[in-house]
């Protein structure tokens, strides 16, 4: 078919100049994975090219912008958009991009960093792999007059996290607020999900949050003051087909948040979470109006959240205005799940 030939041709060209590939997929009404063929073609045409599959809504605005530069779509990508599952109501067969990172600096994380910087906070930026993006964000914050620095660690490994926290303390002398925002997706139906895909998502999203919180809490416990804000997701509350690993990680973050709030409240450490719903990205901006309207039918406020909406919620929970709030999950989903 013409679309398949175009996909193979583009993959071959991409493999010559790219470092990695993202296949962005959604699930159709019968539960079939609309991008599995594209994923298989990547492995067939470029077996040495790192490949990952992710739900489109997890991408940041900058990543989607980069993805559009190398976009390959199948003919049927949007043909059955009205038939896809209600939570997303979109079908994307394949998105190809050179940019694949575990830590996002152009979406919620960046918005939070800018919000804290604007409010006069010193800012420590943690990254796992993408040092280039981390440096760019740090430089942007410094241009605002913020005292910002970057710190590297794989959040899934306690020793690296402890060293990262020690480095932050050496640089800034204190940790007042921790925002746990790192997250990845590797979507598939449960019967098709590999143990590696399950473990990698749990390790980054949930174990990473555990390790970072544990290391920071040791500092906050001694100081008898501190604040942790975890980024969960609406799917951690309502569930979502095809995302058992991601949903479990985000639901686990909610349980972890409530437990830590009870364990450390007596030490004047507050622990809360924000659960975003749909967040506006370059991809949602580029969609036809009828497709966006279909997706928004489930949202009573009839718009997507902005990253600033999420950052404002984080800032509120981190502020003295929320001094009597702990163990709370603040839903920022426009009424998608009530």
Q: How far apart are CA 290 and CA 299, in angstroms?
A: 15
Q: Report d(CA 273, CA 317) in Å as an integer.
A: 8
Question: Which class for 136: exposed (0-12), middle (13-18), buried (19 or more C-beta within 10 A)?
Answer: middle
d(CA 31, CA 53): 16
**C-alpha–C-alpha distance, residues 117 and 50, integer Å:** 35
246 catalytic per annotation: yes
Catalytic residue among 56, 246, 324, 337: 246
Spatial CA neighbour of 50 closest among 91, 14, 22: 22
What distance in Å separates the CA atoms of residue 154 and residue 160, rounded to the nearest whole number? 6
| CA nearest to 209, candidates 189, 188, 187, 233 | 233
Helix (H) / strand (E) element for 273: namely: strand 269-276
309, burial (CB in 10 Å: exposed 0-12, middle 13-18, buried 19+): buried
Pick from 58, 140, 56, 123: which is nearest to 96 by CA?
Answer: 56
For tokens 């918005």, the residue is 111
The catalytic residue positions are: 246
């Amino acid at each position: 078919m013409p679309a398949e030939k175009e996909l193979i041709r583009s993959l071959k060209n991409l493999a010559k100049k790219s470092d990695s590939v993202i296949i962005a997929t959604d699930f159709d009404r019968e539960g079939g994975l609309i991008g599995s063929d594209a994923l298989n073609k990547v492995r067939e045409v470029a077996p040495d090219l790192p490949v990952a599959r992710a739900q489109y809504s997890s991408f940041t605005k900058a990543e989607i912008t980069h993805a559009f530069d190398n976009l390959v779509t199948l003919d049927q990508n949007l043909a059955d958009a009205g038939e896809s599952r209600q939570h997303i109501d979109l079908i994307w067969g394949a998105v190809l991009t050179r940019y694949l990172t575990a830590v996002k600096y152009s979406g919620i994380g960046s918005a939070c960093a800018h919000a804290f910087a604007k409010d006069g906070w010193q800012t420590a930026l943690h990254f796992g792999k993408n040092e280039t993006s981390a440096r760019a964000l740090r430089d942007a914050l410094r241009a605002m007059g913020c005292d910002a620095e970057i710190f590297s660690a794989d959040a899934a490994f306690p020793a690296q996290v402890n060293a990262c926290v020690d480095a932050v303390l050496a640089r800034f002398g204190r940790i007042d607020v921790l925002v746990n925002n790192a997250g990845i997706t590797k979507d598939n139906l449960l019967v098709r999900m590999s143990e590696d895909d399950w473990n990698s998502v749990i390790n980054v999203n949930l174990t990473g949050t555990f390790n970072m919180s544990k290391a920071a809490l040791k500092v906050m416990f001694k100081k008898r003051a501190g604040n942790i804000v975890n980024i969960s997701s609406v799917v951690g509350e309502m569930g979502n087909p095809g995302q058992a690993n991601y949903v479990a990680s985000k639901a686990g973050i909610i349980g972890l948040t409530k437990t830590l709030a009870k364990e450390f409240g007596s030490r004047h450490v507050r622990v809360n979470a924000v659960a975003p719903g749909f967040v506006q990205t370059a991809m949602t901006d580029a969609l036809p109006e009828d497709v966006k309207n279909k997706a928004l039918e489930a949202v009573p406020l009839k718009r997507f959240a902005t990253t600033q909406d999420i950052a404002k919620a984080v800032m509120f929970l981190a502020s003295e205005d929320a001094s009597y709030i702990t163990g709370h999950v603040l839903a920022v989903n426009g009424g998608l799940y009530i």
